[in-house]
Structure 1
Amino acid sequence: MDQNTMYAAVNTKIASMFGKLLDDEDYRNLLSLKNSQEIAQYLKVNTYYGEFLKDKDPLKMHRGDIERLLKESLVVYMDKLINYFHGEYRSFLKSFYMKYEIYDLKRVARIIHIDKDFDNIKESLVFAGKYKYIDIDRIIKAKSIMELIQALEGTYYYPYLKNLIDGNTKENLYRLEMTLDKIYFIVLGEKLKKLNKKDQRVFINLYGNYIDMLNIQWIYRGKEYYSLSSEEIFNYTVDRGNRFNYKSIKEFCYAKDVGEFIEKIRNTSYGFMFKENKNEDIFMERRMNRFMYFKLKGAKQKLNLDISMLLAYLELKEFEIRDIITITEGVRYKLDGEEIKKYLIKAI
């Protein structure tokens, strides 16, 4: 099957999957609900998530149950799409599982470093170990970041992480998260090189802005919260961005302080990431994701015979799941709908 024929088939499937995503009315209805059980009931009766809830009693579901079910649905839909591809393309798309596996590893790390709540930790992990690269039973026994890294010995993560076993307990969570993200882009970049040139350009066009913004976020955190050296921050940054070259990234990292860094960014097209008195990570993350949301929506509407529709669906599906989790979390803390909207990726 030639690539145009393959993409025509894949895009037809994706178009039907796009048609199932929640619309504005679903979002407004979810925002009006009062607890996790009502959200689970709504999802079961009114949305395509009902197929994953058919054997579940919504009245017995809590926030964690909903989150796991949503993530499991993502695995199912990813599996369906990956089956259309073979060879290097299948390998490239399977590397996206690594992104979500890293989410699970970060969850374990945060539990170890911050929450200290180890109850049901195994049940909360959806992606880690999907292809048996990771021994789940080893990582859930870890009680420190050092032990978690040691539990990853023998995986493709370990060669990059082992240097973090240096006794620095204060910064280990940040450095672990940064290193895991960098590993993902290293692996993805190697897989990307094996795709045709057109799809490589499509990927860079769609994700290059995200890489730019991710570098900005990392540099900001390193300077604002951890006082890392400019050299160390620079070592964590990722290439393949759209706007910033090696020289620009290095200049940002070597800004004398976080104030100078922010001023430099405000003079770029990413100035929207920083607003007066609203530099908190959560708002920065939302701005990044909302930027990508509109960019991916545009790619979806072009119906090109390339990898763009697939990439757009995977990200927009993930954004929807993150929004539902945000709504569920907001309801848990008794926030009203208007307040929860501030934290959503989708503009309502």
Structure 2
Amino acid sequence: MAKGSMYRVVNTKIASMSSRLLRDEDYKKMIALKSPSVIALYLKENTAYGDFFKDQDPNLMHRNEIERLLKEGLINLMDKLIHYFNGDYRNFFKCFYLKYEIYDLKRIARLVHIDKNFEHLRENLVFAGKYRYIDMDMLLKAQSIEEIIESLEGTVYHPFLKNLVNGSTTETLYRFEMALDKAYFSILEENVKKISEEDQRAFYDLYGSYIDMLNIQWIYRGKKYYKLTPEEIFNYSINRGNRFNYKKIKTFCYAKDTNELSKMIENTPYGFMLKGDSLQDIFMERRMNRFMYFRLKSAKKRFKMDISILLSFMELIEFEIRDIISIVENVRYGMEYEEAKKYLIKAI
């Protein structure tokens, strides 16, 4: 299918799917509900997410079950869209599966490293192993991050992780997560190079800002919480952001502390990330995602015949699912309405 024809078909399909996204009113009603099962019932009876809960009894759903069904529904949406792509574009689209598989691997690592919970690993795997080879039996038997890395030998992740296997347990989780993100963006960049120059520009126009913000977040956390060396932080940085080149990122990595880093970031478009307020560390990721939310909404409205509509839709669906999970979590712990809104990506 010619690229122009492909985007006419794909964008029409996405326009139909987008019309079924949650409204502000849906958010408000869900935040006011009193239990995860009641939220599941609302989603099933009043929203397009009812398709995700088909043949399921909402009264029996707990938080983890709701999250699993939402993620499985996301897979189904992706499967419907990838049908329209072939060749290099199909390989590019497959990188989204990689992204969500990495989410699973991070979850498993946290269960093993922090919670020491080895009984519920399988139920946390929605994406992992679905579209590429992973030794699932070995992964599910892992009782340390080192064993997780060993289980990933022969996969696209292992070259980025193998240097972490040194017998040390200090900060291994953070390095593991950073190495996986480095793997994702490295593989993504290789696939972006193979699509049209117009689509490459559209990709970096959207994702470049996210790459900038991820680099800031990683540098900040690496300095404040993990005392990593500038060289080590720089090794995990990502290429091709919108605002910061190789030299600028290196300067950030060599800032003497987070205060100096904040001054460097202060007059950039991302100064909101390091304002120094009491909620900075708690809400940094949410602020990043909200920044991206508005960029994606704006890009989607332009309805251009390039990759931007697909990218915007995929990210907006993910943000919406993450918001639903946040609402379920906040309701579960009895959080007040006004407080719960602060944790959402979408501004209500």
Q: Structure 2: how far apart are the matches of 1:281 and 1:184? A: 24
Report what 1:130 is aligned to.
130
Q: Structure 2: how far apart are the matches of 1:69 and 1:214? A: 28
Q: Structure 2: how far apart are the matches of 1:243 and 1:172? A: 30
Report what 1:291 is aligned to.
291
Question: In the alignment, is the contact (CA less than 8 A) between 2:262 and 2:275 conserved in 1?
Answer: no
Report what 1:141 is aligned to.
141
Q: Compute the TM-score of the two structures, normalised by the length of structure 1.
A: 0.98
Question: In the alignment, is the contact (CA less than 8 A) between 2:97 and 2:131 conserved in 1?
Answer: no
Q: Deviations for 1:283-315, whole angstroms, at most 9, x for unmatched residues?
A: 000010000000000011001011111000000
Q: Structure 2: how far apart are the matches of 1:155 and 1:324? A: 32
Superposed, 1:142-161 pairs within 5 Å as 142-161=142-161
Superposed, 1:24-103 pairs within 5 Å as 24-103=24-103
Count of residue pairs brought into register by the alignment: 348
Q: Structure 2: how far apart are the matches of 1:155 and 1:261? A: 36
Residue type at the aligned position of 2:82:
I
The answer to which of 217-226 and 330-339 deviates more is 330-339
SS in 1 for 2:56: coil
Question: In the alignment, is the contact (CA less than 8 A) between 2:118 and 2:143 conserved in 1?
Answer: no
The answer to which of 200-209 and 330-339 deviates more is 330-339
Superposed, 1:254-269 pairs within 5 Å as 254-269=254-269
Superposed, 1:183-198 pairs within 5 Å as 183-198=183-198
* 1:91 Cα deviation after fit: 0.5
Q: Structure 1: how far apart are the matches of 2:21 and 2:140? A: 33
Could you tell me which runs of 5 or more consecutive residues in structure 2 were left unpaired when the two chains were aligned.
Answer: none
Question: In the alignment, is the contact (CA less than 8 A) between 2:192 and 2:200 conserved in 1?
Answer: yes
Q: Structure 1: how far apart are the matches of 2:31 and 2:276? A: 28
Q: Structure 2: how far apart are the matches of 1:154 and 1:39? A: 41
Q: Deviations for 1:266-287, whole angstroms, at most 9, x for unmatched residues?
A: 1221100122333544400001
The answer to which of 170-179 and 268-277 deviates more is 268-277
Alignment root-mean-square deviation, CA: 1.0
Q: Deviations for 1:45-76, whole angstroms, at most 9, x for unmatched residues?
A: 00111112121111110000000000011101
Q: Deviations for 1:64-123, whole angstroms, at most 9, x for unmatched residues?
A: 000000001110111111100100000000011000000000000000111122332201
Report what 2:121 is aligned to.
121
SS in 2 for 1:97: helix
Q: Structure 2: how far apart are the matches of 1:184 and 1:135? A: 19
* 1:43 Cα deviation after fit: 0.6
SS in 1 for 2:48: coil
* 1:341 Cα deviation after fit: 0.6
Q: Structure 2: how far apart are the matches of 1:340 and 1:114? A: 26
Using the aligned pairs only, state the percent identity: 64
Residue type at the aligned position of 2:78:
M
